[in-house]
Amino acid sequence: MKKILVCIGTRPNLIKITKLEECFNKYPHLEFRLLHTGQHYDYNMNEVFFEQLGIKRPDKIFKLEGGSQIQVIAEIQTKAEAYMLEYKPDLVVVPGDVNSTFACALAANRNGIKVAHLESGLRSFDRRMPEEINRILTDDLSDLFFVTEPSGLKHLREEGKSEESIKYVGNTMIDSLVKFSETFEASDILDRIGVEAGNYFTFTFHRPGNVDNQESLADLVDVIVGISANRKVVFPIHPRTKKNLEQFGLDQKLNSKDIIFTQPLGYIDFMKLVKESKAVITDSGGIQEETTFQQVPCLTIRPNTERPVTVDEGSNTMMSLDKEAILSKVAEIENGTYKVGVIPKYWDGNASDRIVAAIDEYLRD
């Protein structure tokens, strides 16, 4: 019996591992345990996933004391090391690029345990982002690399990773979209907020560069007002963004029946909202992938992306925070001249199957 420990710490991590349990169940000689580091843990972000989506509940959940990023990383490392020494896994799998990803990879590596990185090779080349540092360090600690898109292959090869350790498997986040498509479809979120499918834009903004600066936030407000002249705008608002709109006195400009604010939405409702949008305007990372798979136009207001396949092949466009340019691109979406993206290779709902098959082969060697 070979033991595999999968370590998660945030909601995006959970979305990436929803299908792993059923895949591991096809290999009775592989034991799968799930560790939740407690980096982000509350009822709405986690328990609802387990209850509504039937995701495997963690075998172990850490309770963290909190503090600075360094304190949290150190605490996760210490607790993860103790658990790994107790469980003695043959392989530790770490998804994504959050602090838990790096902390668990380091704990495993320092104790001679092999590490597999899920979503390996992604690079924004912006070292101001903590996630970028986590990606680079995690890949340097890893032995097996699971890649979601062509850029990941390129970067890992350029960094000298061995070809036999690189596995192009596809995107496990898409596995969740396929697996739970009927659940998303059953959501009544559109009725609850009073919008029609295909007749609204979805906005999500939370990055400090966009919402902490008054001038930048004012430009975003002007974009929303401009779009709302022709379409409804649905804005699940992040607490940081809401606070700054009020602080800068910009919230009153958004007081319109065609601009619909909601609390941050759960995964099921949000995926329904995105799928039925005319387009999405965001500064998120994962939404770039979800809109590409659903072939919904997406304008991402960021200077860079670690997911270039969503631009090269998919429905995503990277843009600076230039309200005139954004509204010009919105006009393309409205008149039907915006690009038609394709779904990238291996984004087919079977990435988790390929991952577990590769793990089985790796541990047999």
Positions marked active-site: 206
Contact 259, 229 (CB under 8 A): no
3-state class of 92 per DSSP? strand
Distance, CA of 311 to CA of 302 (rounded, Å): 13
Contact 146, 118 (CB under 8 A): yes
Query: Cβ neighbours of residue 221 under 8 Å, at least 6 residues apart?
Result: 245, 250, 253, 254
Per-residue CA distances from 33 to 92, 105, 194 (Å): 10, 16, 42
Distance, CA of 199 to CA of 278 (rounded, Å): 6
Could you tell me the sign of the dihedral formed by the alpha carbons of 283, 286, 291, 292, in that order?
positive
Both tokens assigned to 326: 């954004």
In the chain, the amino acid numbered 303 is P
**Helices (DSSP H) in the chain: which residue ranges?**
11-16, 20-24, 48-53, 69-87, 99-110, 130-141, 150-158, 172-179, 181-185, 189-193, 208-211, 214-228, 239-247, 267-275, 286-294, 309-312, 323-335, 351-364
Judged by phi (left if over 0) then psi (alpha if -120 to 50, else beta), residue 7 lies in: beta
Name the nearest CA neighbour of 174 among 355, 350, 353: 350
Distance, CA of 148 to CA of 285 (rounded, Å): 14
